[in-house]
Amino acid sequence: MRFSWPSPRHLFLAPLALIMAAPLIWMAITSIETPDQARQFPPVLIPHGIDWHNYTRAVDSAPFGAWYLNSIVVSLVVVLSNLVLCSLAAYAFARIRFFGANVLFIALLATLMVPFQVILIPTFLIVRHLGLIDNVSALIVPNLVNAFGIFMLRQFFRTLPIELEEAARIDGCSRLGVLIKIVLPLSVPALSTLALIMLLWTWNDFLWPLVAINTEKHMTLQVGLSTFQGQHQTQWTVLMAGNVLALLPLVIAFLLTQRSFVRSIAASGVKG
Amino acid sequence: MATVEFRAVTKRFDDVVAVNDLSLRIADGEFMVLVGPSGCGKTTALRMVAGLAQPTAGEILIGDRVVNADSPGRRDIAMVFQNYALYPHMTVERNIGFGLRQRRMPRAEVQARVREVSTLLGLEDLLRRKPAQLSGGQRQRVAMGRALARHPQAFLLDEPLSNLDAKLRTQLRAELKKIHQLVPTTSIYVTHDQVEAMTLGDRIAVMSAGRIQQLGPPQEVYDRPANLFVAGFIGNPAMNLLPAAARSGVLTSGDLRMPSPDGADGEVILGVRPERLSAAGDGDARPAFDITVDVVEPLGSEIVVHGSRVDSGAGAESATITARLAVGAMPAAGERLRLAFDPAATHVFDAATGAALRSG
Report the pLDDT value the prediction gives residue A271, as an integer from 0 to 100.
Answer: 41
Residue B265 has pLDDT above 90, yes or no: no
In which band, very low, low, confident or very high, does the pLDDT at B360 lie, cut at 50, 70 and 90?
low
At residue A268, the pLDDT reads 46
Q: What angle in degrees, to the nearest 10, is found between the helix axes of B136-149 and B92-102? A: 20
What is the model's pLDDT at position B255? 80
Residues of B in Cβ contact (< 8 Å) with A182: 87
Q: Which of A160, A170, A186 to mutate to test the interface with B (most CBs of B within 10 A)?
A: A170
Q: What is the pLDDT of residues A65-112, one digit of tens each?
A: 899 999 999 999 999 999 999 999 999 999 998 999 999 999 999 999
Distance CA B169, CA B176 (A): 10
Q: Looking at the predicted structure, is the pLDDT value of residue A270 above 60?
A: no
Residue type, position B169, single letter:
R
- Residues of B within 8 A of A187 (CB-CB) are none
- What is the predicted pLDDT for the residue at A252? 87
> Torsion angle, CA of B330/B333/B338/B340, rounded to 10 degrees?
70
Would you say residue A272 has pLDDT above 50? no
Q: What is the pLDDT of residue A46?
A: 79
Query: Counting beta carbons within 10 angstroms of the beta carbon of residue B123, is it exposed (0 to 12), middle (13 to 18) or buried (19 or more)?
Result: buried
Q: What is the mean pLDDT of residues B117-121?
A: 90
Q: Higher-confidence residue: B210 or A40?
A: B210
Cβ-nearest to B85 among A167, A173, A267: A167
Cis amide linkage into residue B298, ω under 30° from 0: no
Mean per-residue pLDDT of chain B = 90
Please give, rounded to a whole number of angstroms, the shortest distance from the CA of A171 to a CA of chain B: 4
Confidence of residue B183 (pLDDT cuts 50, 70, 90): confident
Q: At what angle do helices A188-204 and A147-159 cross, to 10 degrees?
A: 170
B44: left (phi over 0), alpha (psi -120 to 50) or beta: alpha
Please tell me the predicted confidence (pLDDT) of residue B20: 93
The torsion angles phi and psi of B208, rounded to 5 degrees, stand at -155, 140
Complex-level ipTM: 0.84
**140-199 in chain B: CB under 8 A from chain A:** 146, 150
Closest CA to B26 of B3, B55, B54, B57: B3
Q: Report CB contact under 8 Å: B88, A268.
A: yes
Q: Count the Cβ atoms, other than its own, within 10 Å of residue B236.
A: 12
What's residue B7's pLDDT?
95
pLDDT for position A220: 93
Q: Is the pLDDT of residue A47 over 90?
A: no
Count residue pairs from A and B with Cβ separation < 8 A: 75
- Chain A hits for B132, CB-CB cut-off 8 Å, are 267, 270-272
B334 lies within 8 A of chain A by CB: no
Q: Which residues of chain B does A175 touch, with a Cβ-Cβ cutoff of 8 Å?
A: none
Other residues' Cβ atoms within 10 Å of the Cβ of residue B357? 18
Percent of chain B topping pLDDT 90: 64
Do residue A186 and residue B88 have CB atoms under 8 angstroms apart? yes
Instruction: Indicate if the pLDDT at residue A162 is higher than 80.
Output: yes
pLDDT at B137 over 50: yes
- Binary contact (A267, B86; C-beta < 8 A): no
Higher pLDDT, A38 or B277: B277
B88 touching A, CB under 8 A?
Answer: yes
Instruction: Return the H-helix or E-strand segment holding B286.
Output: none
B-interface mutation test, from A171, A181, A184, A265, most B Cβ less than 10 A away? A171
> What's the rounded mean pLDDT across residues B269-284?
88
Q: Which residues of A touch B (CB under 8 A)?
A: 161, 163-164, 166-174, 177, 182, 185-186, 267-268, 270-272
- B14 — contact with chain A (CB < 8 Å)? no
Residue B213: pLDDT above 60? yes
For residues B84 and B140, the answer to whether their CB atoms sit within 8 Å is yes
The answer, yes or no, to whether residue A207 has pLDDT greater than 60, is yes
At residue A269 the predicted structure's pLDDT band, cuts being 50, 70 and 90, is very low
What does the pLDDT average to over A47-53? 79
Contacts of A170 in chain B (CB under 8 A): 50-52, 72-73, 75, 77-79, 99
Q: Is B105 on the interface with A (CB under 8 A)?
A: no
Q: In which band, very low, low, confident or very high, does the pLDDT at B44 lie, cut at 50, 70 and 90?
A: very high
Averaged pLDDT, A128-135: 94
Q: Confidence class of residue B319 from pLDDT cuts 50, 70 and 90?
A: confident
What integer is the mean pLDDT of B201-205?
95
Please spell the DSSP secondary structure of B10-41, one letter per residue: EEEETTEEEEEEEEEEE-TT-EEEEE-STTSS
Instruction: Centre a 10 Å sphere on the Cβ of residue A238 and count the other Cβ atoms it contains.
Output: 25
Percentage of chain A with pLDDT > 90?
59
List, as own/partner pairs, every contact residues A257-263 make where C-beta atoms lie below 8 angstroms and the sequence separation is at least 24, other chains included: A257/A192, A257/A193, A257/A195, A257/A196, A260/A188, A260/A192, A261/A189, A261/A192, A261/A193
Band of the pLDDT at A211, cuts 50, 70, 90? very high
B97 and chain A in contact, CB less than 8 A: no
Distance CA B288, CA B279 (A): 9
